[in-house]
Structure 1
Amino acid sequence: MANGTQILKGLLEGCILKIVKENETYGYEICERLVNYGFKDITEGSVYPILIRLEKKKLIYSIMKNSPFGPKRKYYYLTNEGAEEFQIFVVSWKVIKTNVDRVLGE
């Protein structure tokens, strides 16, 4: 496994649900937050397809709003289904993390 791209794809959905859960946000801001959390190689090109997928699954929804800095922005919000999916992600992540930590001896 040369890089963690495949692992990262699945984890980003849960991380994005958490960011959207905290308050309304737009795509570029989500990218910035992920970079600030340490995901240095994250680009808009990797985040926007995830946002589209989450919206198709009805885990988030969006509303176009005026921006104080230019054109309208698409703001994202968590649905009830998204909140449930986020809780499932948290439980799954804790189990996976615990098991990997055991394997690695940490």
Structure 2
Amino acid sequence: MDHTGTTISGSSQAALVDHDIAHITRAMHVSLRGDFGGPILPATYWRKRLTDLLDSGQLSAAQSHKVDSLLLQLDLLASTPLPEWERFAPAPTTPFRPAAPVKKVKPA
């Protein structure tokens, strides 16, 4: 079967966009809150992903509304201060390095 010059059909493209929107919906909030070292991915990353989707011109009305909703959520998350227990968490000063492996000692 020859796949040269194959394009993605409209329904396949819509499914890919749906999957992308679902992934962003699941991952954005968790990524922005991050861990003690700060956000895993910054708001600028998520904003670019969402605006790229809007700029693609491939969104249905429902998908466009969902992306708009995610952009509003992103604005809210980016402007909301971290909870107190996260604001005052110590930042790591050095990267984590695993301990050296334990050497086996032969019995005498």
Structure with bigger strand share is: 1
Fold match (TM-score > 0.5): no
Q: Which has the larger radius of gyration?
A: 2
Structure with bigger helix share is: 1
